[in-house]
């Protein structure tokens, strides 16, 4: 047994003894410990450079069309050099094999966002709007590029792979509310258009694409260093770099190009593992927080770990019966909605070689680490709860709620986005928890606490 495995087992045993998890609860529910996998080492500095300058997406918008389609960035948040300094941080300035300069989407499209106006790399994006069918926009973009450069041009050649994947995705990944992510469906669409051995693009999908788009909330990158599975369903195991490079599926030429990109992503993972969560920026009542720590250690630590001097994280997959949160994302894997993707992956280039990615399907959700949790609203795996106060008190969760999507509109006491209760869903900014896969039920463990106890726990969460 590895040292990490032994430590995790001892931590869980101590939690049972000290009361964080009763022996009867341990026996009643099926909690699965997720074991660690070997990860390749890398150079963090090289990883960040590749993340914000690299051509892991090798096709995109010709740079000469930049002024027409994307805003310029005068702040240079990422401290890039040359012309890249003026490129919006969710795009990289790269060069196609044929010499055409391109703007290509990067990982920060999903893995960065703002709080109080501050752009935080590694924060899951919770403001992007996937409710819009982008088919018309994609067609307009291609029409303008054809008219300006012609289909016989190098510019069109450099744009074409991006155009094909964007067209395939445009009407397949729409969500029912702004601020959540269709990552699982997006991946299913892309692999349906890829030969799983050569990874070459197929104009006609070889797999049936699921009709449903099940929403997910993007987890913070700074949590990854503690996790043995990348995703809330527990499916992303084995070599994390193989999963991190999945954005390259947008424009990959073939498995030879994938192998070259694969060499760079251990560096990206090494950089991700250096990210620390943002510190809570307001005053903290440390006396109240200390009371909250005792309550947290007693009631929450058996799933979410301990923090401070004696940190631990148990890496547990919690059964649907115990956690009670919306089951649809988990069931999409266990009941077969995403079986085509799973079968494709398990026999693909990504799952082969000396460092394969692995998909392990088990029912339930991973109880995540809570480092920097004050900043990661909305909550639950589908982003259905706007504030931690409501995570800890299921009775006050709104059925319909909306927010402004202004990054300054944050509640630093209840921890999460300020929101308005609504009578019904009336626009794409209103979250409707009555919809399939958008539910806000479950995780009722805080209901037995008093309001004063819940506020003490919240005060403690500001410190971690």
pLDDT digits (tens, 9 = 90+) for 189-239: 999 999 999 999 999 999 999 999 999 999 999 999 999 999 999 999 999
- pTM confidence score: 0.92
pLDDT digits (tens, 9 = 90+) for 63-91: 988 655 666 677 899 999 999 999 999 99
Separation of alpha carbons 80 and 58, rounded Å: 19
Separation of alpha carbons 323 and 445, rounded Å: 9
pLDDT digits (tens, 9 = 90+) for 233-281: 999 999 999 999 999 999 999 999 999 999 999 999 999 999 999 999 9
Q: With contact defined as beta carbons under 8 Å apart, do 31 and 316 qualify?
A: yes
Share of the chain above pLDDT 90, in %: 89
The pLDDT of residue 8: 38
Separation of alpha carbons 83 and 86, rounded Å: 6
Q: With contact defined as beta carbons under 8 Å apart, do 263 and 446 qualify?
A: no
pLDDT digits (tens, 9 = 90+) for 147-172: 999 999 999 999 999 999 999 999 89
Q: With contact defined as beta carbons under 8 Å apart, do 318 and 351 qualify?
A: no
DSSP assignment string, 50-97? HHHH--SS---EEGGGHHHHS-B-SS-TT---GGGGGB-TTEEEEE-T
Question: Where in the chain are the domains?
Answer: 10-25+281-323+359-461
Residues 374, 378, 379, 383: what is their CA dihedral angle, to the nearest 10 degrees?
-160
DSSP assignment string, 15-34? HHHHTSS-HHHHHHS--EEP
Q: With contact defined as beta carbons under 8 Å apart, do 134 and 152 qualify?
A: no
The pLDDT of residue 70: 64
pLDDT digits (tens, 9 = 90+) for 415-445: 999 999 999 999 999 999 999 999 999 999 9
* Peptide bond preceding 5 in cis form (omega within 30 of 0): no
pLDDT (mean) for 5-14: 36
Burial (CB count within 10 angstroms: exposed 0-12, middle 13-18, buried 19+), residue 68: exposed
CA 50 to chain CA mean position, Å? 19
């Amino acid at each position: 047994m590895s040292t990490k495995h032994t430590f995790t087992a001892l931590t869980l045993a101590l939690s049972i003894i000290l009361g964080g998890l009763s022996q009867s609860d341990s026996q009643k529910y099926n909690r699965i410990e997720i074991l660690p996998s070997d990860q390749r080492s890398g150079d963090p500095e090289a990883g960040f450079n590749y993340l914000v300058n690299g051509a892991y997406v090798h096709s995109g918008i010709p740079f000469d069309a930049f002024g027409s389609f994307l805003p310029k960035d005068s702040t240079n948040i990422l401290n890039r050099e040359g012309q890249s300094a003026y490129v919006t941080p969710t795009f990289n300035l790269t060069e196609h094999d044929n010499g055409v300069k391109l703007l290509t989407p990067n990982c920060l499209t999903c893995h960065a966002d703002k709080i109080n106006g501050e752009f935080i790399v590694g924060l899951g994006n919770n403001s992007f709007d996937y409710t819009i069918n982008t088919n018309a926009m994609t067609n307009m973009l291609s029409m303008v590029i054809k008219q300006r450069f012609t289909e016989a041009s190098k510019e069109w050649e450099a744009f074409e792979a991006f155009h094909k994947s964007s067209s395939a995705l445009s009407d397949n990944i729409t969500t029912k509310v702004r601020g959540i992510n269709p990552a699982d469906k997006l991946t299913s669409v892309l692999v349906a258009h890829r030969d799983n051995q050569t990874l070459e693009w197929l104009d006609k999908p070889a797999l049936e694409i699921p009709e449903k788009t099940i929403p997910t909330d993007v987890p913070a990158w700074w949590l990854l260093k503690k996790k043995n599975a990348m995703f809330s369903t527990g499916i992303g195991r084995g070599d994390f770099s193989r999963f991190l490079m999945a954005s390259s599926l947008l424009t990959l030429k073939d498995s030879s190009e994938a192998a070259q990109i694969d060499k760079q992503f251990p560096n990206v993972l090494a950089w991700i593992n250096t990210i620390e969560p943002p510190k809570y920026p307001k005053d903290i009542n440390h006396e109240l927080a200390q009371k909250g720590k005792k309550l947290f250690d007693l009631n929450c630590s058996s799933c979410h770990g301990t923090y401070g001097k004696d940190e631990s994280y148990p890496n547990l997959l919690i059964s649907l019966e115990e956690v009670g949160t919306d089951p649809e994302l988990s069931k999409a894997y266990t009941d077969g909605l995403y079986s085509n993707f799973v079968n494709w992956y398990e026999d693909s280039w990504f799952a082969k070689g000396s460092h394969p990615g692995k998909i392990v399907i088990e029912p339930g959700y991973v109880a995540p680490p809570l480092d920097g949790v004050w900043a990661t609203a909305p909550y639950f795996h589908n982003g259905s709860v706007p504030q931690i106060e409501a995570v800890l008190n299921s009775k006050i969760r709104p059925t319909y709620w909306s927010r402004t999507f202004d990054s300054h509109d944050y509640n630093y006491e209840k921890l999460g986005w300020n929101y308005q209760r609504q009578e019904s869903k009336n626009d794409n900014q209103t979250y409707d928890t009555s919809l399939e896969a958008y539910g806000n039920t479950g995780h009722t463990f805080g209901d037995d606490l008093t309001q004063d106890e819940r506020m003490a726990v919240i005060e403690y969460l500001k410190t971690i």
